[in-house]
């Protein structure tokens, strides 16, 4: 064991408040597509162009097909050894009376399925919906989410249109509402939920050690969390297959 690793293990053993930051890299082994970079296409659409309020307003049917596909892939995926190791580590530390908060950019809930607790989901969840009228957020793990989306969302590049009638798309269960539902996801151009952001900032401010696992550290505000911890003189360890724009902050 090299000196750096030995020193880090000692720091981790003495820590009372651990912050774990995770991103899409930790779910890649479970078969969850990242939809980032040159290969980030669903059908012939660049996924980032579908994950916007404007895309949903223009064609909610198409966007719901995209998310039905993502929900199905995530529901069929299984937590991998990375998720399980984080959950085991967290549970062991919690039993010792320590605090471990997981702040994730992922929306697949694989951390929770591996047994993790205290998971702050920065970008929402594939298994939650939000009403566009009354704004109520509801957990929904049904696959398909509604009858009209059964067997829809196939990533066939020859399918370019989607014309499910608006009234057949997921809608609010409230009798006096019945508004169109949307995925409870923070889309491009939208702000993070203030309560969720507050939870993340509290974890950043209180931690005495930080682990960065499977995130490229380029999406804000999450990209600022580890550098902010490092600026306070708190040890930060990065676990990624490649160096990232944030790596230099942790040396």
* Residues annotated in a binding site for Zn(2+): 131, 134, 172, 177
Rounded Cα distance, 73 and 76, in Å: 5
Binding residues for substrate: 67, 70
Quote the crossing angle between the two packed helices 222-231 and 194-206, to the nearest 10°. Answer: 20
What HEC string does the chain produce? CCHHHHHHHHHHHHCCEEEEEECHHHCHHHCCCCCCCCCCEECCEEHHHHCCHHHHHHCHHHHHHHHHHHHHHHHHCCCCHHHHHHHHHHHHHHHCCCEEEEEECCCCCHHHHCCCCCEEECCEEEEEEEECCCCCEEECCCCCCCHHHCCCCCCCCCCCCCCCCHHHCCECCCCCCCCEEEEEECCCCCCCCHHHHHHHHHHHHHCCEEEEECCCCCCCCHHHHHHHHHHCCCCEEEECCCCCCCHHHHC
Of 83, 111, 123, 184, the active-site residue reads: 123
User: Which residue numbers belong to the known binding site for NAD(+)?
Assistant: 105-108, 214-216, 240-242, 251
CA-based end-to-end distance of the chain: 18
* Residue 226 near residue 236, CB atoms below 8 Å: yes
Is 111 part of the annotated catalytic residue set?
no
Catalytically annotated residues: 123
């Amino acid at each position: 064991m090299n000196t750096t690793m030995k020193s880090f293990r000692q720091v981790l053993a003495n820590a009372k408040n651990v912050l774990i930051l995770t991103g899409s890299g930790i779910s890649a082994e479970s078969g969850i597509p990242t939809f980032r970079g040159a290969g980030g296409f669903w059908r012939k659409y660049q996924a980032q162009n579908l994950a916007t309020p404007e895309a949903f307003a223009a064609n909610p049917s198409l966007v719901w097909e995209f998310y039905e596909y993502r929900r199905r892939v995530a529901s069929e995926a299984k937590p991998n050894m990375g998720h399980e190791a984080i959950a085991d580590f967290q549970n062991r530390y919690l039993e010792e009376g320590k605090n471990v908060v997981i702040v994730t950019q992922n929306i697949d809930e694989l951390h929770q399925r591996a047994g993790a607790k205290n998971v702050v989901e920065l970008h929402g969840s594939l298994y939650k919906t939000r009403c566009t009228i009354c704004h109520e957020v509801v957990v929904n793990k049904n696959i398909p989410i509604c009858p009209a989306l059964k067997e829809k969302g196939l990533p066939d590049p020859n399918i370019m249109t989607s014309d499910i009638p608006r009234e057949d798309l997921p809608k609010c269960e409230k009798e006096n509402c019945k508004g169109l539902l949307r995925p409870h996801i923070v889309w491009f151009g939208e702000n993070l939920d203030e309560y969720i952001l507050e939870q993340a900032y509290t974890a950043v401010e209180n931690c005495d050690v930080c682990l960065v696992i499977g995130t490229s550290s380029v999406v804000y505000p999450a990209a600022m969390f580890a550098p902010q911890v490092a600026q306070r003189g708190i040890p930060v360890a990065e676990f990624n297959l490649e160096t990232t724009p944030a790596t230099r902050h942790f040396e």
